[in-house]
C-alpha cells in the first residue's frame, strides 16, 4: 500500500501598528494595531510598544508589536510592520513684567512669568532690555533669553515683550535774590541747581527783566538752562527771585 506526505505550508499573516502621537510631556496613549491572517481559533493577540525617547527632535519613534501565544506562531509566515510615534511640541510662553525707573537711577531687577514649561526641564529666563538711558528714548523693550537650550526644541515658545519706561527726574533751579543801588552796574546773578545729575553738566544763565528805576523794581530774575538735549529727562521747577 503506497502513502504520500501532506505538507502544511505556513499561512501568510501580518501585524500592523497604527501610527500615534502625543504632545511633549504627556503620557503615552494606548497603542493599537491590526492583526490580519491569523486563525481566530489560535487567539493571536498583539502587545504594542515603542522605542524609548521623550524628545521632539528624537521622534518619530518606532511602534512595533510582540505576538502571543508563541507556540502557534511557527504556523505563520508573519510580516511585522511598524508605525511612527511622533512627539509634538508643547505650547509655552515667557512674558516679561513691565518695569521702569527714574532717570539717573540704577535699573531695577527685571522679572517675568514662564508658562507651559515642564518643571522637570528647569527652564529659567534671563531678562534684559534694549540699551538707552533717556526719557525720550523710552519705552525700551524688555525681552527674555531662556535656558537650558537643549530642552527648548521640545516647545513652541511665544516670546512676549514688555515696556521699560524711564520717568523724568525732579529738579529745580532757584535764582538768588539780588539788588543794586540806582545807577550802578548789575552784579553777577547767581542761583542754585538741585536734582540734576552731575554727569549731565547742566548750567544756568541768570537774567532779569529790563528796567533801571527804583519804582519799577523789584524786577524778576529767571534762569535759562543748558545743554538743551538733556533737559527732557527732568521735570524742572523754574523758580524766580527779586532784583
pLDDT tens over the chain, length 243 residues: 788 888 889 999 999 999 999 999 999 999 999 999 999 999 999 999 999 999 999 999 999 999 999 999 999 999 999 999 999 999 999 999 999 999 999 999 999 999 999 999 999 999 999 999 999 999 999 999 999 999 999 999 999 999 999 999 999 999 999 999 999 999 999 999 999 999 999 999 999 999 999 999 999 999 999 999 999 999 999 999 999
Q: Are 215 and 182 in contact (CB under 8 A)?
A: no
Q: How far apart are CA 238 and CA 24, in angstroms?
A: 62
Say whether 41 sits in a helix, a strand or coil: helix
Cell of 90: 508643547
Q: For position 196, what pLDDT does the model report?
A: 98
The alpha carbon of 83 is separated from its chain's Cα centroid by a whole number of angstroms, namely 37
SS3 74: helix
Partners of 218 in the β-ladder = none
Distance CA 189, CA 231 (A): 22
98: DSSP letter: P
The grid coordinates of residue 186 equal 548789575
Judge contact between 170 and 197, C-beta under 8 A. Answer: no
Tell me the CA end-to-end span of the chain in Å, nearest whole number: 149
Question: What's the chain's Rg over C-alpha atoms?
Answer: 41
The C-alpha atoms of residue 51 and residue 30 are separated, in whole angstroms, by 14
Look up residue 111 and give its three cell numbers: 522679572
Cα 92 to Cα 34: distance, rounded to the nearest angstrom: 36
Q: What is the per-residue burial (b if ≥16 Cβ within 10 Å, else e) of 21-39?
A: ebebbeeeeebebeeeebe
pTM: 0.84
Distance CA 109, CA 87 (A): 37
Amino acid at each position: 500500500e503506497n502513502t504520500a506526505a501532506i505538507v502544511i505550508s505556513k499561512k501568510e499573516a501580518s501585524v500592523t501598528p497604527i501610527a500615534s502621537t502625543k504632545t511633549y510631556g504627556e503620557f503615552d496613549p494606548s497603542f493599537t494595531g491590526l492583526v490580519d491572517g491569523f486563525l481566530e481559533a489560535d487567539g493571536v493577540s498583539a502587545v504594542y510598544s515603542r522605542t524609548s525617547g521623550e524628545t521632539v527632535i528624537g521622534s518619530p519613534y518606532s511602534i512595533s508589536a510582540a505576538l502571543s501565544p508563541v507556540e502557534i506562531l511557527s504556523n505563520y509566515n508573519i510580516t511585522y510592520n511598524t508605525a511612527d510615534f511622533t512627539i509634538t511640541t508643547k505650547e509655552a510662553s515667557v512674558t516679561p513684567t513691565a518695569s521702569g525707573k527714574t532717570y539717573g537711577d540704577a535699573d531695577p531687577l527685571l522679572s517675568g512669568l514662564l508658562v507651559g514649561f515642564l518643571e522637570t526641564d528647569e527652564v529659567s529666563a534671563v531678562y534684559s532690555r534694549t540699551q538707552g538711558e533717556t526719557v525720550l528714548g523710552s519705552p525700551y523693550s524688555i525681552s527674555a533669553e531662556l535656558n537650558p537650550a537643549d530642552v527648548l526644541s521640545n516647545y513652541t515658545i511665544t516670546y512676549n515683550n514688555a515696556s521699560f519706561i524711564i520717568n523724568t527726574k525732579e529738579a529745580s533751579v532757584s535764582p538768588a535774590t539780588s539788588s543794586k543801588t540806582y545807577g550802578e552796574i548789575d552784579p553777577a546773578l547767581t542761583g542754585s541747581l538741585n536734582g540734576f545729575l552731575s554727569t549731565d553738566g547742566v548750567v544756568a544763565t541768570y537774567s532779569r527783566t529790563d528796567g533801571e528805576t527804583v519804582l519799577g523794581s523789584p524786577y524778576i530774575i529767571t534762569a535759562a538752562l543748558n545743554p538743551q538735549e538733556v533737559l527732557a529727562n527732568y521735570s524742572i521747577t523754574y523758580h524766580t527771585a527779586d532784583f
